[in-house]
Amino acid sequence: MNARRRPARGRGATDNPEGRFETRSREAFADDWSEPDAEPRQLPTVVVQQQAHSIISRNDSPDVPFVQSINPYQGCEHGCVYCYARPSHAYLNLSPGIDFETRIFAKANAADRLRDELAARGYRCSPIALGANTDPYQPAEREQRITRSVLEVLADCGHPFTITTKGALVERDLDLIAPAAARGLARVFVSVPQLDHQLARRLEPRASAPARRIETIRRLVAAGVPTGVLVAPVIPFLNDSQIEAVLAAARVAGATMAAFIVLRLPHEVRGLFDAWLQEHYPLKRERVLRAIREMRGGRDNDPRFASRMTGSGPLAELIARRFELASRRLGFGDEHTELRTDLFRPPRPGRQLELF
């Protein structure tokens, strides 16, 4: 008899399904050795040190506002069930479910690789985005300090960067971010999909609480850092009613920029989100999934450029219109000031090489 697995405390995914490249599958069942309905066990986080071969990723996607990005970590302990980065764990023969939240790979040599790549003869400076995939300020960063080491290199070189995060830990690095911002080299976006604390605990179990993120916006602004709010993801009939409230709270805190992204369900994220709805909001499940398909041309996911971020159809247009009207009414800026690239100086060689 199959056993229904209860979700672990403090984790977003309700299960640990195989990735799409696995050749074998596993299924939980009652074997009389354990009680299926017992309290769920605490699942520890394992951080694995990894030596990266390269650190700067590049993309040519027309709907992404950056060309270069750095991800100090693979996997994310925040546990956001909707995270579009989850499928990347399948390439490691790990599950995009619980494994993604509990098996974190820390790129220990990120700063060294970054110095090498910035010093390359053919390198062309353009802003580097941190937080494009997994959060650079997830809990592991408190001890690993890899994001900070990357910022130290960028600051030393006068290199522009952007940060997107749900973690209040970003405030720790204001001693690096604020001086860079004063030189026109840095901006930060704080992701706040909703203000509802109970919903956030289920959607994003180990991220900073929504009210704490709004406070982070206030502190960043007070330090002189251009700061925006990212309302992402917008999930119809779950958190879309809070768009205006999030924008208003962020604006009061001093945010001057705002953007949104509707929910994306690539690869394994579809099944994970469906199972999460069944566990936490079974009565809303069909309505939410139906609305998502309505915005995705009848499918669970639409990978096409442009529409993958905003969706299509009447419901998507309504969400975009609401966001636009609220942003305009609250006085958010329409354009982002370009970060400077003219201050960049490649890393200097080591002292031994300076002798020649």
If you average pLDDT over residues 149-154, what whole number do you get? Answer: 98
If you average pLDDT over residues 206-228, what whole number do you get? Answer: 98
- The count of C-alpha atoms lying within 13 angstroms of the C-alpha of 256, restricted to the half-sphere facing its C-beta, is 13
Comparing 29-33, 170-174, 294-298, 338-342, the range with the smallest average pLDDT is: 29-33
Q: Give the pLDDT of residue 352.
A: 42
Q: Give the pLDDT of residue 325.
A: 97
Would residue 135 count as lying in a domain? yes
Would residue 183 count as lying in a domain? yes
| Mean per-residue pLDDT of the chain | 89
Q: Which CATH number do you get for residue 92? A: 3.20.20.70
If you average pLDDT over residues 127-137, what whole number do you get? Answer: 95
Pairing state of beta strands 73-74 and 103-107? Answer: antiparallel
Would residue 351 count as lying in a domain? no
Confidence band for 227, pLDDT divided at 50, 70 and 90: very high
The more confident residue out of 30 and 281 is: 281
Q: Any idea which residue has 């009414």 for tokens? A: 329
Would residue 343 count as lying in a domain? no
Confidence band for 310, pLDDT divided at 50, 70 and 90: confident
Query: Concatenated DSSP letters for 141-186?
Result: HHHH-HHHHHHHHHHHHT--EEEEES-GGGGGGHHHHHHHHHTT-E
Q: Which domain holds residue 318?
A: 46-332
List the beta bridge partners of residue 161.
128, 186
Q: Which residues of 105-134 are buried (b: 16+ CB within 10 A; e: fewer)?
A: bbbbbbbebbbebbeeeeeebebbbbbbbb
Distance CA 114, CA 249 (A): 36
Would residue 355 count as lying in a domain? no
Would residue 338 count as lying in a domain? no
Nearest to 339 by CA among 202, 183, 234: 183
Q: Give the pLDDT of residue 15.
A: 85
Q: Is the pLDDT of residue 354 over 50?
A: no
Query: Concatenated DSSP letters for 174-232?
Result: HHHHHHHHHTT-EEEEEE-S-S-HHHHHHHSTTSPPHHHHHHHHHHHHHTT--EEEEEE
Q: What is the pTM of this model?
A: 0.89
Confidence band for 25, pLDDT divided at 50, 70 and 90: low
CA distances from 302 to 21, 32, 54, 293, 298 (A): 21, 43, 30, 9, 9
Q: Percentage of residues in the chain with pLDDT exceeding 90?
A: 75
Would residue 128 count as lying in a domain? yes
The more confident residue out of 157 and 8 is: 157
Q: Percentage of residues in the chain with pLDDT exceeding 70?
A: 88
Confidence band for 356, pLDDT divided at 50, 70 and 90: very low
- Alpha-carbon 181 to chain mean position: 21
If you average pLDDT over residues 25-53, what whole number do you get? Answer: 69
Distance CA 174, CA 276 (A): 36
The more confident residue out of 313 and 42 is: 313
Q: Is the pLDDT of residue 56 over 60?
A: yes
Comparing 105-109, 220-224, 321-325, 344-348, the range with the smallest average pLDDT is: 344-348
Q: Give the pLDDT of residue 2.
A: 38
If you average pLDDT over residues 20-28, what whole number do you get? Answer: 57
Would residue 354 count as lying in a domain? no
Please count the structural domains in the chain.
Answer: 1
Structural contact between residues 6 and 198, judged by C-beta atoms closer than 8 angstroms: no
Q: Is the pLDDT of residue 39 over 70?
A: no
